[in-house]
Structure 1
Amino acid sequence: MARRIEHHTTSAFPAEKVFAALVDETYLRDRLAAIGGKDAELVTYTSVDGKTSYQLKQGVPAEHLPSVAKSLLGGDLVIQRVENWAAGAGTAEVTIGGVPGRLDGAFTITDDGSGSKLTLTGEVKVGIPLMGGKLEKMIAEQVAVLLDKESEFTSEWLANRG
């Protein structure tokens, strides 16, 4: 069974500026340094002809995980995230080390009033009998928290650059 996820964040900045930040290598490194967690890194980055692709590695120490996740992972949570962006839209593939599952989603950035809205729609699927649904719920909740933190960081980052 899979769990659908739809999450929205807003920004006071127009979609064009938010998109430009999301595909900027310096921004990605700054964001990882600020909120990427344990051993965070920009693993790969390419940007050619208006198309940008990158892979991020993010970590959550075991002591910050719910007990169900701790028992399954036996250690820290390592998140591998691949994003592909072009013209204000993107895709995301997220896998978690030690968990037979993934999140697949699509991002859109649109102007919304005087600012913009970033929307993630996707699906979380964990193939573990009996525990899969609990883990899917936990992952969906944590993705929402992470997207909110990233949105706050993006707004601050853009504000500091005039």
Structure 2
Amino acid sequence: MAKSIHETLTYPGTTVDAVAALAIDPEFRAAVASYQHAIRSSLAVSPAPGGNDVTFEYAHGTERVPSFAKKLVGEEIPIVQHEAWRGHAADVLITIPGKPGDMKGSITLAQNGDDVVQTVDLTVKVGIPLIGGKIEDLIAGLLAKAARAENRVGVKWLAGDRNA
């Protein structure tokens, strides 16, 4: 079984190049992690043919995680998000090191008049019998919230507010 996430987010009054540049900006990614109350984060960017390969690593505490899941993840949830940006689209692979399952999908950016529309499509798969579906739902919800949080910080960031 798998859980799908589809988020359509808008960045008003900007360009796809400006939004795409956020993916490789260490200060922006640190601001997103801080906004989401991550306990640590790092960003690595490597040039690749036609774009960049990005690895965004961050960790969340488990104080808001249901008890059935807390037993599986421990004291923190480390997340490794690999993005292969080629032009204005990225293939995405998100893993939680040492845990079964992954999140795969894509991010696309498109100009729509004066705005940029970002589409995030991910599929969450967790290979744990009996409770895998519950964990997929939990992770899907967290990833959807993370995408919306990144959008909120990005809109402010592009408007010049670096204190998001």
Normalising by structure 1, we get a TM-score of 0.88
Aligned length: 160
Q: Quote the residue 1:10 is aligned against.
A: 10
1:21 offset after TM fit, Å? 2.1
Shift of 1:49: 5.3
State the alpha-carbon separation in 1 of the partners of residues 6 and 86 from structure 2. Answer: 20
Bigger mean CA offset, 27-36 vs 14-23: 27-36
* Ranges in structure 1 where 5+ consecutive residues have no aligned partner: none
- With over 3 angstroms needed to count, the CA separation of the structure-2 counterparts of 1:24 and 1:49, relative to structure 1, is farther
> For residue 47 of structure 1, what is the aligned residue in structure 2?
47
Unaligned runs of 5+ in 2: none
- Greater helix share, structure number: 1
Q: What RMSD, in angstroms, separates the aligned Cα atoms of the two structures?
A: 1.9
1:40 Cα offset (Å) = 1.4
CA 1:118–1:36: 2 relative to 1, 3 Å:
farther
1:27-65 per-residue CA deviation (whole Å, 9 max, x = no partner) reads 3344345446012112x2212554111211111112122
Pairwise CA distance, 1:142: 0.7
Residue correspondence of structure 1 range 54-69 to structure 2 within 5 A = 54-69=54-69
Match runs of 1:92-107 below 5 Å:
92-107=92-107
Matched residues in 1 for 2:97 and 2:75: separation?
A: 10
Match of 1:37 in 2: 38
Query: Conserved in 1, the CA contact under 8 Å of 2:107 and 2:119?
Result: yes
Residue of structure 2 equivalent to 1:84: 84
Normalised by the length of structure 2, the TM-score is 0.87
Contact 1:32 1:41 in 2 (8 A): no
Identity level (%)? 29
- Once the two structures are TM-superposed, the CA of residue 158 in structure 1 deviates from its matched residue by 1.2
